């Protein structure tokens, strides 16, 4: 037989495109259109429905960027259409190739009832089946003129304050049309078979069987009467569509989904509407497709529906109760996991799962994070402590260098906890269930011979509205079809239960799931990151001091509502395009404003609690005694962790300052001697106790360096390795002076300018301190550059230790393999440490996350390990003004530091002491722990408002720990809990804790173990 594949395939392409698809909607009549342009921000539905509508017509331009136009469409079904299915086709001016990134609409009836969303592949509203004719039609469309911003180039359209006012869209189609069901079904038959055929090997008989069946179907179709001959064409396809799949065919669990970024190329307020449009589409589709199962994550998005769309919320709750609209994920949002602090990660699960339990009675079992930019090695333990069993991600398929070796595996975290994990081989979380994608999933699946199944999330995301009727039609045809994987539409739990049952002994991946891409997100939008870090610290303090006051001060009321509201605000802004700095200017402008408000409120809570504890009115009239509060988890200057004392004064030898021969200054305090040369660089940081130099020979620490930074594609997201090819050391000096003497410190101020920017640094040494403190203020006006601060250290370190949630992660400093070389930019929280046996050094910070660590062997045979902090970037997309302006940051070098020193100093730089004027009485901590190896992460009152004290702690050094926790109040009982503060079965039996006497608990923790204890207060309160 001659090979005529290309001819038949080209024939099919043209006939589908030009004749069959256009025939789905047949006879049509125009709808009358009215419009009302809402002034400013979106208005409530009732206001939009009651607005004064003016005349409009197809072809009219509408929508300045971020504007809202309400369209009223009215008409009458022609009587000659009796017996037909009729739909309204409402095309707002869609670009068919850009679902989710352009204009969108939400259709309402005249009484305000939500009907469904509109987007490029879902632009219809069913009027009726077998209509009588003469029916009146009246619909209202709330149309959002969201600008197209996925353009990868600088744009001012990303903020309503800078966007132009020109219309962006034109109405393309507003009409009633006859819907030909048989033609629509024929399109689905042809698409499925065509997609399958093109994925089959040319030498396989099945491919040719499908080709000939398609040819016979086209022969049976009268192109002048497609509706009249569609059934005849479909009959020619029945044989190839009924042939069952092979017994060994890959099994796919298809889960309806709509990945909606809670902010990205649109502001938060628009996400509220995207969620409503998608939920409306979903429940509407479920009404006509009983097999449809849809999974939606992010409790915040459910909460938005509840708050803003109560009628839609009732419908969603009904579908949830039916088991078809499935809450997944168990987190408040799909957060970043690299930079979010430990306690904040715990609260993502606490408030997310709490919402699902309270609203639906559902305890979610899976953690659903398809799109975050890498996953912390602390996550498995948190997943299990949240009561979840499974983890799903997709983003690792984006890695540039190394292909991840597994799709179904056990993921082991830093403490040894394992969680059953799936990484869908379809390599997308927005599948449309076409043959190409499903064939890729089956071919790509790496667990062949061990497992047989994978999960495919299908549906348009980011406002695209989730699944469509076309996708569900494909799923029906692919349920059992020869040559294709078997497709079942089902909830995620069905997949995970079956996958684990068949593959209990899946391979193990140990450590972080590092994304070899998007490394710039550790640094972009520094003010957003600083706002988050400061919020996390303030929330810790607010809960600690409020809990202490609630236990100790009669009449003090713990601010439950305020703290929960503030936590949820901070958690929302940890979404994986907000905290990482990859959203538009509008999002980050609002984030800065929100963080400022959050900080003010938390400061008020902290101040009120501390004044209540300190006694007196807290005024500054000089009559009281200054009481110093220590909110850090380690004692300092004699002040216990979580306690307060009258001002303790100095804590070490006085600091001396003198001129340095050759220029500069020398600072010393009996522990360190720091030399700052005439360029204002730290050329020596000598550990007097260990008799050892920290700075590598001939090098200088706190060296600011600037690199060009234009990645190949994703500006705010990426730093590409070639940025290192060019570097400029910032050694030019505008000024260098010794600051006026202070009682407990000496400091040197350094001023520099570079490009259009300038920097002022204060390098200080404090009495009794082992840190070289560096307070930096940068007036940043560079473009497409990255600013680093380098610390070349005289230490042979094979690994760096970087703080992550509830512990730290070790990474090689060498680049023996491509996996190690790919980690040229890494994330650390409050500290990063490098060391050799017996001596090490740390760099701590108050708001920096991006770092790099490199090694070099010197001519003298010694090794220089250089730690660098990534201070600022200046990408131009999606925010062309990223980080322009003034930034203040603090970091410090800690010579001679152990891991424990790094942990302690990292907390201290983020939780400074607070001085309050009061009665002078000491404030004893609510709880104390007698080992610095065990860190108290949170002290709060229980979520159920019963008054119990909840303490979360962890082993911080990476070794086994024994310690005793002692409560500073009468304790009736001690219970280990999960993150939701529910009793944790078996914790005592595993030996994590033992109550040895009233108020004292013996702790025996494994490395990096997290333990949450609920201390019930006795009646003698």
Q: Name the H helices within 701-740.
A: none
Cα 401 to Cα 953: distance, rounded to the nearest angstrom:
37
Cα 292 to Cα 753: distance, rounded to the nearest angstrom:
61
Beta strands 54-56; 32-38: pairing state: antiparallel
Instruction: Specify which residues 142 forms β-bridges with.
Output: 70, 106
Instruction: Sort 305 into a burial class: Cβ within 10 Å, 0-12 / 13-18 / 19+.
Output: buried
Q: Where are the beta strands (DSSP E) in 298-383?
A: 325-327, 366-368
Cα 733 to Cα 717: distance, rounded to the nearest angstrom:
32
CA angle 93, 94, 98 (to 5 degrees): 155
Q: How far is CA 51 from CA 56, 69, 339, 969, in A?
A: 14, 11, 45, 61
Phi, psi of 906 (to 5 degrees): -65, -40
Those residues with Cβ within 8 angstroms of residue 470's Cβ, 6 or more apart along the chain or in another chain: 121, 188, 191, 432
Cα 161 to Cα 553: distance, rounded to the nearest angstrom:
48
**Which letter, b or e, does each residue of 712-732 get, where b requires 16 or more Cβ atoms within 10 Å of its Cβ?**
eebbbbbbbeebeeeeeebee
Quickly count: other Cβ atoms within 10 Å of residue 1002's Cβ: 15
Those residues with Cβ within 8 angstroms of residue 369's Cβ, 6 or more apart along the chain or in another chain: 329, 331, 334, 335, 337, 375, 391, 392, 393
CA 711 from chain centre, in angstroms, equals: 22
The two tokens of residue 997 are 């006497």
**Rg over CA atoms, the chain:** 32
The two tokens of residue 420 are 């059953």
Cα 784 to Cα 707: distance, rounded to the nearest angstrom:
9
3-state SS, one letter per residue, for 251-274:
EEEEEECCCCCCCCCCCHHHHHHH
The two tokens of residue 470 are 């076309």
Say if CB 37 and CB 67 are below 8 A apart: yes
DSSP 59: T
Quickly count: other Cβ atoms within 10 Å of residue 671's Cβ: 20
Say if CB 258 and CB 460 are below 8 A apart: yes
Q: Catalytic residue positions?
A: 371
Q: How many residues does the chain have?
A: 1021
Say if CB 793 and CB 864 are below 8 A apart: yes
Cα 864 to Cα 1007: distance, rounded to the nearest angstrom:
29
DSSP 923: B
Does residue 878 have a cis bond before it (omega within 30 degrees)? yes
Phi, psi of 388 (to 5 degrees): -100, 160
Say if CB 979 and CB 386 are below 8 A apart: yes
Q: Report the interhelical angle of 585-614 vs 526-552 (nearest 10°).
A: 20
Cα 789 to Cα 676: distance, rounded to the nearest angstrom:
15
Cα 604 to Cα 556: distance, rounded to the nearest angstrom:
14
Those residues with Cβ within 8 angstroms of residue 620's Cβ, 6 or more apart along the chain or in another chain: 917
Cα 404 to Cα 543: distance, rounded to the nearest angstrom:
41
- State the DSSP H helix or E strand holding residue 299, giving kind and residue range, or none if neither: helix 299-308
């Amino acid at each position: 037989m001659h090979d005529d594949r290309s001819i038949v395939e080209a024939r099919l392409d043209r006939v589908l495109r030009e004749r069959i698809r256009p025939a789905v909607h047949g006879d049509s009549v125009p709808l009358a259109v009215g419009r009302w342009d809402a002034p400013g921000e979106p208005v409530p539905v009732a206001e939009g429905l009651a607005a004064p509508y003016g005349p409009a017509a197809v072809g009219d331009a509408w929508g300045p960027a971020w504007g809202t136009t309400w369209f009223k469409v009215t008409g009458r079904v022609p009587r000659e259409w009796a017996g037909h299915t009729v739909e309204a086709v409402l095309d707002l001016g869609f670009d068919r190739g850009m679902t989710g990134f352009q204009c969108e609409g939400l259709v309402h009836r005249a009484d305000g009832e939500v009907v469904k969303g509109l987007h490029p592949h879902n632009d219809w509203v069913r009027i009726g089946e077998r209509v009588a004719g003469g029916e009146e039609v009246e619909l209202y469309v709330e149309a959002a003129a969201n600008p197209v911003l996925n353009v990868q180039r600088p744009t001012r359209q990303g903020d309503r304050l800078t966007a132009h006012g020109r219309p962006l869209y034109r109405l393309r189609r507003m009409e009633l049309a006859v819907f030909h069901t048989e033609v629509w079904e024929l399109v689905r038959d042809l698409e499925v078979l065509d997609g399958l055929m093109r994925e089959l090997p040319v030498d396989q008989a099945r491919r040719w069987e499908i080709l000939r069946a398609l040819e016979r179907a086209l022969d049976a179709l009268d192109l002048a009467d497609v509706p009249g001959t569609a059934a005849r064409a479909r009959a020619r396809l029945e044989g190839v569509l009924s042939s069952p799949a092979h017994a060994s065919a890959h099994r796919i669990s298809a889960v309806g989904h709509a990945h909606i970024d809670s902010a990205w190329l649109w502001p938060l307020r628009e996400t509220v509407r995207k969620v409503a449009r998608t939920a409306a589409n979903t429940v509407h589709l479920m009404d006509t497709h009983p097999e449809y199962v849809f999974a939606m994550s992010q409790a915040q998005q459910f909460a938005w529906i509840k708050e803003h769309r109560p009628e839609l919320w009732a419908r969603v709750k009904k579908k949830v109760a039916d088991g078809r609209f499935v809450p997944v994920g168990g987190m408040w949002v799909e957060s970043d996991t690299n930079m979010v602090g430990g306690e904040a990660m715990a609260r993502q699960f606490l408030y997310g799962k709490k919402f699902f339990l309270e609203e639906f009675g559902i305890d979610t079992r899976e953690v659903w994070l398809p799109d975050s930019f890498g996953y912390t090695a602390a996550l498995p333990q948190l997943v299990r402590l949240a009561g979840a069993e499974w983890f799903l991600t997709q983003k690792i398929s984006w890695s540039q260098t190394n292909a991840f070796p597994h799709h179904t595996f056990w993921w082991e975290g830093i403490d040894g906890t394992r969680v059953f994990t799936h990484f869908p081989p379809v390599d997308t979380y927005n599948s449309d269930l076409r043959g190409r994608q499903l064939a890729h999933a089956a071919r790509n699946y790496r667990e062949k011979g061990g497992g047989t199944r994978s999960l495919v999330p299908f549906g348009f995301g980011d406002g695209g509205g989730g699944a469509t009727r076309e996708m569900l039609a494909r799923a029906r045809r692919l349920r059992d079809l020869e040559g294709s994987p078997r497709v079942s539409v089902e909830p995620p739990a069905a997949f995970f239960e079956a996958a684990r049952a068949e593959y209990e002994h899946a391979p193990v991946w140990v450590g972080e799931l590092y994304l070899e891409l998007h490394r710039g997100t550790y640094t972009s939008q520094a003010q957003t990151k600083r706002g988050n870090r400061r919020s996390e610290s303030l929330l810790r303090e607010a809960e600690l001091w409020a809990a202490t006051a609630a236990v100790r001060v009669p009449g003090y009321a713990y601010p439950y509502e305020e703290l929960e509201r503030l936590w949820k605000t901070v958690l929302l802004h940890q979404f994986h395009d907000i905290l990482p700095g990859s959203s538009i200017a509008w999002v980050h402008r609002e984030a800065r404003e929100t963080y400022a408000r959050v900080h003010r409120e938390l400061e008020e809570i902290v101040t009120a609690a501390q004044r209540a504890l300190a006694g007196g009115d807290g005024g500054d009239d000089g009559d009281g005694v200054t009481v110093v509060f220590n909110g850090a988890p380690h004692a300092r200057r004699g002040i216990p962790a979580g306690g307060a004392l009258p001002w303790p004064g100095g804590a070490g030898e006085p600091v001396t300052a003198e001129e340095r021969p050759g220029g500069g200054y020398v600072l010393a305090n009996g522990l360190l001697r720091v030399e700052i040369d005439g360029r204002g660089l730290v050329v020596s940081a000598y550990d007097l106790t260990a008799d050892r130099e920290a700075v590598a020979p001939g090098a200088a620490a706190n060296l600011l360096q600037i690199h060009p930074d234009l990645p190949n594609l994703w500006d705010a997201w990426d730093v590409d390795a070639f940025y290192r090819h060019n570097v400029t050391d910032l050694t030019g000096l505008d000024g260098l002076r010794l600051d006026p003497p202070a009682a407990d410190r000496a400091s040197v101020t350094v001023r520099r300018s570079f490009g259009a920017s300038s920097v002022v640094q204060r390098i200080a040494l404090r009495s009794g301190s082992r840190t070289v403190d560096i307070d930096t203020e940068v007036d940043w006006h560079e473009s497409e550059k990255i600013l680093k601060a380098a610390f070349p250290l005289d230490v042979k370190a094979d690994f760096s230790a970087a703080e992550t949630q509830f512990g730290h992660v070790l990474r090689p400093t060498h680049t023996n393999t491509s996996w190690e070389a790919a980690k040229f930019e890494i994330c650390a929280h409050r500290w990063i440490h490098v060391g050799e046996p017996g001596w090490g050094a740390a760099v701590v910070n108050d708001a920096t996350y991006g770092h790099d660590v490199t090694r070099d062997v010197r001519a003298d045979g010694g090794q220089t390990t250089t730690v660098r902090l990534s201070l600022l970037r200046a990408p131009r997309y999606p925010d062309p003004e990223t980080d322009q302006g003034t930034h203040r940051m603090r970091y410090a070098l800690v010579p001679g530091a152990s891991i424990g020193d790094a942990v302690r100093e990292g907390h201290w730089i983020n939780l400074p002491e607070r001085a309050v004027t009061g009665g002078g009485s000491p404030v004893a901590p609510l709880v104390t722990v007698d080992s610095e190896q065990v860190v108290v992460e949170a002290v709060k009152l229980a979520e159920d408002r019963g008054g119990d004290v909840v303490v979360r702690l962890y082993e911080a050094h990476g070794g086994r720990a024994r310690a005793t926790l002692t409560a500073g109040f009468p304790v009736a009982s001690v219970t280990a809990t999960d993150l939701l503060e529910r009793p944790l079965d078996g914790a005592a039996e595993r030996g994590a804790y033992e109550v040895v006497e009233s108020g004292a608990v013996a702790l025996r923790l494994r490395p990096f173990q997290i333990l949450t204890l609920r201390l019930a207060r006795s009646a003698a309160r």
